[in-house]
A and B are shown apart, each in its own frame.
Chain A
Amino acid sequence: MKNHPSASSQPARPGSPLDSSGWLLAPAALWGGCFFLVPLLIVLLVSFATRGVHGGVVWQFTLANYGELLHPIYIVIFVQSLAYAAVTTCLCLVIGFPFAYFIARAPRHLQSIWLLVILVPFWTNFLVRTYAWMFLLRAEGLFNGWLLHWGLIDEPIQMLYQPVAVLIGLVYGYLPFMVLPLYVACERLDPTLIDAARDLYAGRMATFRRVIWPLVKPGVVAGSLLVFIPAVGAFITPDLLGGARTMMIGNLIQHEYLVVRDWPLGSALSFILMALVILLLRGYFRVDRRLSLPQVSQ
């Protein structure tokens, strides 16, 4: 029998312990079904319903909610959100990669200490940490205080409620999600391959480009996804650090649901956001596979 065309080079494992243990899926399947699929379906239905006069949902089919999203103001917010998420992902990668590489090359006992350093902030509530950033960035905050004290500026710089504050908050919040998968990828990278590249006349840049980068790319992909997806839908960070001037899709959805009480429009927004992310991911993987991925033999 011919192999499935996309079958990987790894041999199939008939009779592996997973075969007879499908029931282990049951709890997760039940949980996902009750608390993910069903609500998702409800949101989908609501997105095709009509808004009542005083809020609430009137069960009358319409496509108007989706039509309304073509309004430029919504498109601008979508594009803005994607841009924020993309820049956040790039910044996390640029900051996180050297750090992950450094940790992976550190002696074993120091590696766990460094990883702990990354994870410690998670022990504090995200909201609290975001408020902390507000204190740092305020006009009378720590940064402006220092700059004034050293005479670098004459009057406080407006840092808070600026796009840059949102970016700082997003990068700060999602950096660990980038560092951890990158660390795993770097840790798996056999250092003798780097020696081999150097032995074969590759300088630092060429070694990075031709050997290190392609081999850690699975980690880059994983980290980018883990940062990009939540960053597109972020709403606490832009809400607190961006103020009224910055609106991301997350804020918009929250606004529609809780302030305007237009549930159908909020649902349509949620669905479009999801569809957009899925489409982007598909495109990303398609390009990525075309570029390389040798592990998938043909």
Chain B
Amino acid sequence: MPESLSTDRPSSSGVSPGRFSIEAEHLVKRYGAVLAVDDVSLRIRPGEFFSLLGPSGAGKTSVLRMLAGFESPDAGSLRIEDQSMADVPAHRRPVNLVFQSYALFPHLRVGENIAFGLEMKRLPRREVLQRVGDILAMVKLSGIERRWPHELSGGEQQRVALARALVNRPAVLLLDEPLSALDQQLRQEMQVELKSIQEQVGITFVCVTHHQQEALAMSDRVGVMRQGRLVQVGAPRDVYEQPANLSVARFIGESNELQGRFRAIGGGYGTLDSSRIGSAAIKVRGPSESGPHDDPIVLLLRPEHLRILRENLPDSYDNRLPGRIEKVLYGGHETHYMVRVGEEACWKVVTSTPRGDDKSFAPGEQILVGWHADDGIVFPE
């Protein structure tokens, strides 16, 4: 099985595996006056599941199109499997793309769609049929070779698109917002499946998505893009817990923010004095580059790191702020609370839903919001 699924590229099966599947150096792409991709350098290891994450217009699709060969960079260099891609057109690159709209050929049956790339490579008929059958089995759609694309559901079309790309055993599989057209349920199933298929075939996956949960769930590493720049690259956990800057933190996950001035109190900690919540001094971990006193900072608190406490309970949280429950949104496995803290701030708190209703809170209730100083993320403003 693994033998038949390995890529056709000699470098990935033989003596000297390339150190990197993809090496992009200082890529720049302009569309007219718009700088779509601004000095992006990126190294992706063989067999890695790498996601480019960013809001629309961040330049991630442009990067993907340059990898696929549909666009050529205005500056910078690109190597795939240790080969320069400078003069290699799209149809000669060892990559295949799963299109956002799937782009299945409407005039070809499912089997013919999947066989397209293999036929272009002039593989013998028997091998083509064999491979098409195998790949359909892998995406759990055996026996639909004779169907037309328009007869398939969205989820099935998605799998066929995946099969059509994977059947060529590319060195790198590119995925453009692969799950965006699926409904929530199917999307979650496909995340698991995509990940397991990737582990099975061992091909490098580069996935572009604006859906952060998707990127965090599937990827070995995530590259966060904003306004054409690659802002942070790291494992999903690092990107979520140690965002490189405020914009990354705001884009990935939800967060409550509190502005104030920082005063060091030693031991790497300090206090945040905020006019927005009165005089309460909040204990925070100091920003990584410790500046002088009275620096304006922003404290970022993830909703799941906050706890709602009844006033009478003793606890061990570093910080406690009085607040009032405004809204309760019951979400099954978790409950979202909107809590008014101080005069203007309305924070979101997420707790796993307690069983029974003895521990839940009602709108209007006066409570305390508590958290550990180490859970807050501090950025200079």
Q: Which residues of A contact B (CB under 8 A)?
A: 9, 190, 192-193, 195-203, 206, 210-211, 214-215, 292, 294, 297
Query: Please, could you name 13 A-B residue pairs with CB atoms under 8 Å apart, sorted by A?
Result: A190-B101, A196-B99, A198-B69, A198-B70, A199-B68, A200-B96, A200-B116, A200-B164, A201-B117, A206-B120, A211-B105, A214-B107, A294-B106
Contacts A195-B70, A294-B108; is A201 near B91 (CB within 8 Å)? yes
Please state if B107 and A202 are interface contacts (CB–CB under 8 Å). no
B90 contacts the other chain (Cβ, under 8 Å)?
yes
- B residues 148-165 touching A (CB-CB < 8 Å): 148, 150-151, 164-165
Partner of B106 from the list A199, A200, A201, A215 (CB cut-off 8 Å) is A215
B109 contacts the other chain (Cβ, under 8 Å)?
yes
Q: Which 5 A-B pairs have the closest CB atoms?
A: A200-B117, A201-B120, A196-B103, A198-B90, A192-B103
Q: How far is the CA of A292 from the CA of B109 in the complex (A)?
A: 11
B333 contacts the other chain (Cβ, under 8 Å)?
no
- Distance in Å from the Cβ of A268 to the closest Cβ of chain B? 43
Q: How far is the CA of A203 from the CA of B116 in the complex (A)?
A: 12
- Distance in Å from the Cβ of A285 to the closest Cβ of chain B? 17
Please, which residues of chain B bring their CB within 8 A of the CB of A193? Answer: 103, 105-106
Please state if B103 and A201 are interface contacts (CB–CB under 8 Å). no
Please, which residues of chain A bring their CB within 8 A of the CB of B121? Answer: 201
Please state if B90 and A199 are interface contacts (CB–CB under 8 Å). yes
Partner of A297 from the list B97, B116, B148 (CB cut-off 8 Å) is B148
- Distance in Å from the Cβ of A295 to the closest Cβ of chain B? 8
For A190, give the chain B residue with the smallest CB separation: B103
Q: How far is the CA of A191 from the CA of B148 in the complex (A)?
A: 20
Q: How far is the CA of A198 from the CA of B106 in the complex (A)?
A: 16
Please, which residues of chain B bring their CB within 8 A of the CB of A214? Answer: 107
Please state if A196 and B105 are interface contacts (CB–CB under 8 Å). yes
B92 contacts the other chain (Cβ, under 8 Å)?
yes
Please, which residues of chain A bring their CB within 8 A of the CB of B116? Answer: 197, 200, 202, 210
Please state if B148 and A294 are interface contacts (CB–CB under 8 Å). yes
Q: How far is the CA of A139 from the CA of B39 in the complex (A)?
A: 65
B168 contacts the other chain (Cβ, under 8 Å)?
yes
Please, which residues of chain B bring their CB within 8 A of the CB of A195? Answer: 68, 70, 90, 97, 99, 103
Please state if B148 and A200 are interface contacts (CB–CB under 8 Å). no
Please state if A192 and B101 are interface contacts (CB–CB under 8 Å). yes
Partner of A202 from the list B101, B104, B120 (CB cut-off 8 Å) is B120
Contacts A192-B99, A195-B70, A200-B117; is A294 near B92 (CB within 8 Å)? no
For B96, give the chain A residue with the smallest CB separation: A199
Binary per-residue interface labels of chain B (8-36) against chain A in the complex, 1 for a CB within 8 Å, 0 otherwise? 00000000000000000000000000000
Please, which residues of chain A bring their CB within 8 A of the CB of B97? Answer: 195-196, 199
Q: How far is the CA of A200 from the CA of B97 in the complex (A)?
A: 9
Q: How far is the CA of A183 from the CA of B68 in the complex (A)?
A: 29
For A206, give the chain B residue with the smallest CB separation: B120
18 new A-B contacts, CB < 8 A, other than A193-B106, A198-B91, are A9-B148, A9-B150, A190-B103, A192-B101, A192-B103, A195-B68, A197-B116, A198-B70, A199-B68, A199-B97, A200-B168, A201-B117, A202-B116, A215-B106, A294-B107, A294-B108, A294-B109, A297-B151
For B174, give the chain A residue with the smallest CB separation: A199
For B121, give the chain A residue with the smallest CB separation: A201
Please, which residues of chain B bring their CB within 8 A of the CB of A190? Answer: 101, 103
- Distance in Å from the Cβ of A56 to the closest Cβ of chain B? 56
Q: How far is the CA of A210 from the CA of B91 in the complex (A)?
A: 14
Q: Which of B101, B107, B164 has the most CB of A within 10 A?
A: B107
For A191, give the chain B residue with the smallest CB separation: B103
Q: How far is the CA of A143 from the CA of B103 in the complex (A)?
A: 49
Please state if A199 and B105 are interface contacts (CB–CB under 8 Å). no
For A196, give the chain B residue with the smallest CB separation: B103
Please state if A202 and B91 are interface contacts (CB–CB under 8 Å). yes
Please, which residues of chain A bring their CB within 8 A of the CB of B120? Answer: 200-202, 206
- Distance in Å from the Cβ of A187 to the closest Cβ of chain B? 16
Please, which residues of chain A bring their CB within 8 A of the CB of B92? Answer: 201
For B70, give the chain A residue with the smallest CB separation: A195
Binary per-residue interface labels of chain B (80-122) against chain A in the complex, 1 for a CB within 8 Å, 0 otherwise? 0000000001111001110101011111110000001100110
- B residues 53-87 touching A (CB-CB < 8 Å): 68-70
Contacts A192-B99, A192-B101, A210-B116; is A292 near B70 (CB within 8 Å)? no
Q: How far is the CA of A203 from the CA of B89 in the complex (A)?
A: 9
Please, which residues of chain A bring their CB within 8 A of the CB of B90? Answer: 195, 198-199
- Distance in Å from the Cβ of B160 to the closest Cβ of chain A? 12
Q: How far is the CA of A197 from the CA of B120 in the complex (A)?
A: 9
Q: How far is the CA of A155 from the CA of B120 in the complex (A)?
A: 53
- Distance in Å from the Cβ of A200 to the closest Cβ of chain B? 4
Q: How far is the CA of A206 from the CA of B165 in the complex (A)?
A: 18
Q: How far is the CA of A146 from the CA of B96 in the complex (A)?
A: 54
Q: How far is the CA of A202 from the CA of B105 in the complex (A)?
A: 13
Q: How far is the CA of A9 from the CA of B109 in the complex (A)?
A: 15
Contacts A197-B116, A292-B107; is A203 near B99 (CB within 8 Å)? no
